[in-house]
Chains A and B, each alone.
Chain A
Amino acid sequence: MAERLGMVEKRGVGLWLTHVGLIIGLLFIFFPIWLAFVASTVSQADIIKPPMPLWPGDQLYENYSRALLSGINAPVAWMMVNSLIMALGIAFGKILISLLSAFAIVYFKFPGRKMFFWLIFLTLMLPVEVRIVPTYQVVANFGMLNSYSGLIFPLIASATATFLFRQFFMTVPDELAEAARVDGARPMRFFWDILLPMSRTNIAALFVILFIYGWNQYLWPLLITTDPSMNTIVMGIKQMFPSGDDLADWPVIMATSILAMIPPVIVVISMQRLFIRGLVDSEK
């Protein structure tokens, strides 16, 4: 067995070459992040005199507290709160409305069910980037510019999650609903006591994907948050660059970039299994 494995899986020199190849790939992927981290720990003077150092300096606390507490247009801590509200709002909002409508579509026969199904099917096809101008007008007419609801609602108007839950509900054994009905359980009882607990893993996996999706939004917050105190962190970074020829405040900008990465990265790493599952599920 060991001999045969040796023909396919590498050992000896080949094994080392495999590791070297992977490490080169890792370096390519990590280098930009490492550089951003280094830049967030040195002073502006170190950066504007290229080449900048490749090893962290001693300004970490200084730069991060400056970014978090005062920022450039708005304190970054505040932008992170905005991002968090937006990401959680999108994740919970989308999961909630999708669970309810998928339950209705799968477990009831009601007039207009087919039509409803096809209507949400259509929304799969049109990313928000394509309908930005009219969506912006709708949000402006509702007076929702510079508001959390304006940030959240247009991005939960899509059906991916509904499809996911529909697929999952279809695999739930009929006997469970049958038993619930025989016991005289009301539909919502069945939903709360049986369906929801069974969907826990799917919900968690979807939550990971939607949280990252919401946190990383750029174009939409860029359009509708003109007030710096409503900026999200991902779109706020670009706003920190001075217009014209002035020199950017790189240490603070890079500290903000690192801060913008931390929450979604924590979510991905700590929920790696769910993340992979969610990724595979949502592309089905």
Chain B
Amino acid sequence: MEKRVTFKGIWLPLLLVTPQIVITAVFFFYPAGQAVWQSLFIPDPFGLSMQYVGLGNFRYLLGNSYYLTSFVTTAVFSVLVTVVSMGIALYLAVLADRLIKGSGVYRTLLIWPYAVAPAVAGVLWLFMFNTRVGVVTWYLGVLGYDWNHVLNGGEAMGLVVVASAWGRISYNFLFFLAGLQAIPKSVIEAAAIDGARFWVRFRTIVFPLLSPTTFFLLVVNIVYAFFETFGVIHTITGGGPQQSTTILVYKVFSDGFVGQDLGSSAAQSVILLFIVGLLTIFQFKFIERRVHY
């Protein structure tokens, strides 16, 4: 895609792109290059020099049970967050779409939790499930259930999943509702006249027509769960107990800043970079398809 009409000049456009080039070079390409470079070294025990180890860091990571566990944790976490938040959002969007009047009011009410930062969402849920003062913990106790996400890895995972999914419902709801409203009413009415009940209409007509939206949201939500949930995990569990909620991004942080193991952290960054690349290609492929849909 090119403009037919362009202005003349070489220095002006170069001047115009300079700010972005400089900022991107200094704060993006240089650090990204550093990550790749550092991933080939290990610091000596005194931190005075770096020793070249080639792909040693990668070999070590891929044979390290903690790292591989973190992969599994990330996969479980991402799938759960995606399914829970998209499920609830779809349910609410389908209901709101059935209203002739008032769906706008519900939209306004459901939209704004999008503005709540993941880290704040983490604090809100931590408060409800706090082992000492949490309201939900207390009522669970009355019911005879002893909630303790500080000791129980499964409960910790459940809590970070719910807190992460909670903050994401607004976003998914918005896209699902827009997708639903774009489906021509005549198609659905035709099916209704033929006697198809709601659930049949949903399964055979609405859901297939909604698939581009669903697919797009799947990718976007997985990316969200991978990278943007750091705040939730850091505020609620700090990756624990026993690393049961240490997702990959959290491990880059804890190995690099808490553990000061720069080589390993950099190698993890490179592996993550590779995963993001795959997801991006996947997404672009899909968007290409959506255009032709």
Contacts and interface: CB of A to CB of B under 8 A. Distances in A.
Contact of A107 (B6, B96, B227): B6
Contacts of A269: 108, 111-112
**What is the interface of chain B mostly: helix, strand, loop, or mixed?**
helix
B100 interface: yes
Contact of A39 (B10, B127, B132): B127
Nearest to A254: B127
Given A48-B132, A127-B276, A133-B256, A138 B7 contact: no
B138 interface: yes
A84 interface: no
Contact of B249 (A8, A96, A129, A234): A129
Given A29-B110, A35-B127, A234-B120, A10 B280 contact: no
Contacts, number: 297
B285 interface: no
A28 B256 CA distance: 37
Contact of A97 (B23, B35, B192): B23
Interface residues of A, number: 106
A132 B252 contact: yes
Contacts of A138: 26-27, 30-31, 34
B60 interface: no
Contacts of B178: 280
Nearest to B106: A22
B266 A134 contact: yes
Contacts of A98: 20
B117 A132 contact: no
A174 B35 contact: no
Contact of B13 (A110, A159, A162): A110
Interface stretch (A73-81, A196-204, A211-219): A211-219
B119 interface: yes
A36 B166 CA distance: 15
A160 B120 CA distance: 25
Nearest to B102: A19
Given A22-B106, A109-B6, A153 B117 contact: no
B7 A268 contact: no
B100 A22 contact: no
Given A107-B7, A261-B115, A265-B115, A127 B12 contact: no
A25 B12 CA distance: 54
B21 A135 contact: no
Contact of A218 (B127, B230, B256): B230
B3 A154 contact: no
Given A7-B192, A51-B135, A218-B230, A134 B31 contact: yes
Interface string B263-279: 00110010011001100
A153 B27 contact: yes
Contacts of A54: 135
Contacts of B4: 174
Interface in B48-73: none
Interface stretch (A55-63, A64-72, A116-124): A116-124
Nearest to A99: B16
Interface in A193-243: 212, 215-216, 218-219, 222-223, 234-235, 237-238
Nearest to A47: B133
A247 B130 CA distance: 11
A157 B4 CA distance: 30
Nearest to B270: A130
Nearest to A177: B5
Contacts of A131: 28, 31-32, 35, 269
Interface string A146-161: 0000000110111100
A25 B257 contact: no
A18 B256 CA distance: 50
Given A33-B113, A234-B119, A218 B231 contact: yes
Interface string B1-45: 101111101101110110111011011111110110010000000
B106 A170 contact: no
B95 interface: yes
A257 interface: yes
B3 A107 contact: yes
18 contacts: A10-B99, A19-B99, A25-B95, A26-B109, A29-B169, A29-B170, A35-B128, A48-B133, A50-B134, A100-B20, A101-B21, A105-B13, A107-B6, A108-B13, A113-B13, A135-B31, A138-B27, A219-B253
Interface of B: 1, 3-7, 9-10, 12-14, 16-17, 19-21, 23-24, 26-32, 34-35, 38, 88, 91-92, 95-96, 98-100, 106, 108-121, 123-125, 127-128, 132-135, 137-139, 166, 169-171, 174-175, 178, 185, 188-189, 192-193, 216, 220, 227-228, 230-231, 234-235, 249, 252-253, 256-257, 262, 265-266, 269, 272-273, 276-277, 280, 287
Given A10-B99, A26-B110, 14 more contacts: A4-B193, A26-B106, A32-B124, A50-B132, A104-B16, A125-B273, A157-B24, A159-B24, A187-B7, A187-B9, A234-B119, A237-B235, A261-B120, A265-B116
